[in-house]
Amino acid sequence: MPKKILIVDDEEHIRFLYSEELAEEGYQVITAESGFRLLERIEEEKPDLVVLDIKMVDFNGLDILQDIRNKYYDLPVILCTAYDTFKEDMKSIAADHYVIKSFDLTELKSRIAQALDSGLTE
Amino acid sequence: MQVREINPEGVTEADVVIGIPSYNEAANIAFPTLKANEGLIRYFGKRRSVIINCDNNSDDDTPNVFLATATDVPKICLLTEPGVRGKGNNLRNLFRKALELGARSVAVVDADLKSITPQWIKHLAEPLDNDFGFVTPLYVRHKYDGTITNSIAYPLTRCLYGRRVRQPIGGDFGFSGNMAEIFNLANHWSPYVGNFGIDIWMTTLAMNHSIPICQSFMGRPRIHKPKAAEHTSGALFREVVGAVFEMMIPYAPFWKRIRHSRPTSIYGFGLGESEMPPPVNVNQAALYDRMAEGFKTCLDLWREIFSDDVYGQILDARSASLDRFDFPIRTWVRVLFETAVAFKKSPAQDRDRLLEALAPLYYGKTLSFVRKTERMTIQQTEEFIENECVVFEENKPYLVERWPL
């Protein structure tokens, strides 16, 4: 069964790019364009991992991260951002990883693989 | 263990317990006691609660100062038997008493705290109502406050047990009644744990019993009796690091299977802007001298403990003058790993000697850390520490390969 990844980003081209590339890696990808009713979406879809944009027009990704963590403390979350200033906010330490947005998804793919790994040796 | 109990109001049951361990804190204990009282009244007013001072028979009348502090919440004092000292021995009495009272939530705060607010009580105890079993504090600390945490306790426990708990020896904790039972029944106890090793012992037990852990944001910096990095006491270093190494032995089957770490839940954001911590000044020359002292007294033991590679790197570090000094993180990681292996192989009576030989290298690592981060902000330093943690995790196979069966 492929692992399910939820991409949360308000930029359509980013959702498209991530969906295409991650689907090629064998993941099942679903998307959301905002943080609106995101917890309900997570409850319904039960993703294995969330890729979360920090700066969306109507939502602060770090607040969403906090909401996710309060309810699903074992759900891996990777933060995506154009700038690394978000690290000044202590909430950011609740994320599994962060990646700087880029059209080269090598780093993101590597972080996703690591976060989905159980962390245990066989 | 004999315990003397002073329970003026005859408390026999409590839902919420606040524990304040102490030794000779008569000048300080009234303040956290008053804040604990305020926190209990304000946030847990409908529950039965009690404040417990666990004391090592202080010479300065700490228990009487505690009992004389005017509070609405009843108070109990537990005294270790004469001659028994140590924070761990105090908390052991608290675990037992919390179980006896049927407590559902227990919070522990240090007796010398100057910055505690009533909200700290809420933030340490409230997550226990939401399925968490163990709560560690999260404060903004000065980059040079807590160097044992930054160089050893945080990166090593994170690397070993796969949980990112930023303040594993923060001094202030919350735990559930179930967790108190786990602490009370734990087989492993030692002089390290009976003293300052108790904090890392509790955190390690919580991690290894798969207890849901959260980090609770305290909002204010932890201000207590400060100590500069070069004045870290030998006993504190020995007891904390000794407890870390000791716990590695029974839990080896668990940590050997863990490849990388995961974040831990956060509780308590929304307190507004956090206050900046007070400055901590570091005397770099004193750190250098304390490291150099080790080259006079510990070389033979280092030669015995460390691989040729690591021993050579230590000698290289020594050859640099203070203004060019560097102790590479990879060297430090391997120093810790190889000392942990030597600790495991050594009989109990030889282990203090190993920890004493590690201390000068810790001062060298601390000096290197100070030099590399002196122009950094607190946040940049946090990132620097995170990158060091990655080096610990990347080098973990080195430890696993060398760990004796």
CB–CB of B141/B236 below 8 Å? no
Residue B50 sits in a domain whose CATH number is: 3.40.50
Record: contact A90-B262, CB cut-off 8 A: no
Are the beta carbons of B262 and A96 separated by less than 8 Å? Answer: yes
With beta carbons under 8 A apart, name residues in chain B contacting A110: none
Which residues in chain B have their CB less than 8 angstroms from residue A60's CB?
none
Residue B274 has phi, psi (to 5 degrees) of -85, 145
Query: Total domain count for chain B?
Result: 2
Q: Check if B382 contacts A (Cβ < 8 Å).
A: yes
Least CA distance to A93: which residue of chain B? B263
In this predicted model, which residue has the larger pLDDT, A36 or B372? B372
List chain A residues with CB under 8 Å of B383: 87
Q: Provide, as residue numbers in chain A, all residues whose Cβ is less than 8 Å from the Cβ of B217.
A: 90
Q: How confident is the model at residue A122 (pLDDT cuts 50, 70, 90)?
A: very low
The widest CA-to-CA distance across chain A, in whole angstroms, is 43
**Rounded to 10 degrees, what is the CA torsion of B179, B180, B186, B190?**
120
Mean pLDDT on B70-97: 96
Strands B75-80 and B3-6, bridge-based pairing: antiparallel
Residue type, B267: Y
The neighbour count for residue B41, using CB atoms within 10 Å, is 15
Q: Can you tell me the mean pLDDT for B316-322?
A: 88
Average pLDDT value for residue range A1-27: 94
Indicate whether B197 belongs to any domain.
no
Is the pLDDT score of A55 beyond 90?
A: no
> Residue B214: closest CA among chain A residues belongs to which residue?
A73
A103 in B contact zone (CB under 8 Å)? no
Chain A residue with minimum CA distance to B272: A89
Q: Which string of b and e fits B339-369 if b means at least 16 CB within 10 Å?
A: bbbbbbeeeeeebeebbbbbbbbbbbbbbbb
pLDDT at B221: 82
Residue B32 lies in a domain: yes
Assess A85–B contact: CB distance below 8 Å, yes or no: no
Lowest mean pLDDT among B225-234, B256-265, B395-404: B225-234
Per DSSP (E only), the strands in A1-122 are 4-8, 28-32, 49-53, 77-81, 97-100
- Using alpha carbons, list the distances in angstroms from residue B144 to A19, B154, B229, B283, B375: 44, 14, 7, 11, 12
State the residue range of the domain holding B20.
Answer: 1-113
Q: Does B259 touch chain A (CB under 8 A)?
A: yes
Query: Any chain A CB within 8 A of the CB of B261?
Result: yes
User: Which one of A69, A73, A87 has the shortest CB-CB distance to B379?
Assistant: A87
Q: Cα–Cα distances in Å, from B216 out to B123, B170, B198, B327? A: 6, 11, 19, 33
Residue whose pair of structure tokens reads 């996703």 in the numeric block = A112
Q: Which of B88, B113, B138 is the last residue of a domain?
A: B113
pLDDT the model gives residue B269? 62
**What residues in B contact A121, CB-CB < 8 Å?**
256-259
Rounded distance, CA B100 to CA B281, Å? 45
- Give the pLDDT score at A73: 75
User: Which positions in chain B touch A91 (Cβ < 8 Å)?
Assistant: 266, 269
pLDDT of residue B149: 96
CB contact under 8 A, A119 and B261: yes
Using an 8 Å CB-CB cutoff, list chain A residues near B164.
93
Tell me, yes or no, whether B48 lies in a domain: yes
Chain B residues within 8 A of A100 when measuring between CB atoms: none
State what percent of residues in chain A have pLDDT above 70: 92
What's the confidence (pLDDT) of residue B379? 80
* Record: contact A90-B214, CB cut-off 8 A: no
Task: Give A97 to chain B, closest Cα distance, Å.
Answer: 9
- Residues of chain A found within 8 Å of residue B274, distances taken between Cβ atoms: 90
Mean pLDDT of B384-399: 96
- Give exposure, A56-69, as e/b (b: 16+ Cβ within 10 Å): beebebbebbbebb
pLDDT tens digit sequence for A61-108 = 888 888 888 788 789 999 998 876 666 677 778 888 888 888 899 999
The stretch B164-185 carries a mean pLDDT of 96
Residue identified by tokens 């040079």 is: B144
Task: Domain ranges for chain A, please list them.
Answer: 4-116
CA-based nearest distance A112→chain B, Å: 13
| Contact between A120 and B382 using a beta-carbon 8 Å cutoff | no
Residue B275 forms contact with A (CB below 8 Å): no
Strand partners, B108: B19, B173
Contacts of B376 (CB under 8 A, 6+ apart): B143, B384
* CATH architecture for segment(s) A4-116: 3-Layer(aba) Sandwich (3.40)
How far is B226 from B112, CA to CA, in rounded Å? 10
| A90 inside 8 A of chain B by CB | yes
Q: Which one of A83-97, B2-16, B207-221 scores highest in mean pLDDT?
A: B2-16
B169 pLDDT higher than 90: yes
pTM of the prediction? 0.90
Half-sphere exposure for B349 (CA within 13 Å, toward CB): 0
Domain boundary residue among B61, B91, B113?
B113
- pLDDT beyond 70 at B63: yes
The reply to whether A26 touches chain B by the CB within 8 Å rule is no
Domain annotation covers residue B84: yes
Q: Chain A within 8 Å of B113 (Cβ-Cβ)?
A: no
Q: How confident is the model at residue A117 (pLDDT cuts 50, 70, 90)?
A: confident
User: Of A88, A94, A119, which has the smallest distance from its Cβ to B266's Cβ?
Assistant: A94
Q: Do B258 and A73 touch (CB under 8 A)?
A: no
SS (H, E, C) B44-61: CCCCCEEEEEEECCCCCC
pLDDT for B224 equals 75
DSSP-assigned states of every residue in B173-192: EEEEHHHHHHHHH-S---HH
* A49: DSSP letter: E
Using the predicted structure, report yes or no on whether residue B229 has a pLDDT greater than 60.
no
Contact A91 B266 (CB under 8 A): yes
Residue B105's DSSP bridge partners are: B16, B176
CA B377 distance to own-chain centroid: 24
| B400 vs B161: CA distance, rounded Å | 13
Asked, for residue B127, whether it belongs to a domain, the answer is: no
Q: How far is B132 from B177, CA to CA, in rounded Å?
A: 11
Distance from CA of A33 to the nearest CA of B (A): 25
Q: Is the pLDDT of residue B181 over 70?
A: yes
Strand, coil or helix: B155: helix
Is residue B325, in this structure, part of any structural domain at all? Answer: yes
Task: Please identify, among B94, B113, B132, the residue that sits at the C-terminal boundary of a domain.
Answer: B113
Looking at CA atoms only, how far is residue A49 from chain B in angstroms? 13
In a domain, B338, yes or no: yes
ipTM of the modeled complex: 0.73
Give mean pLDDT, residues B94-104.
97
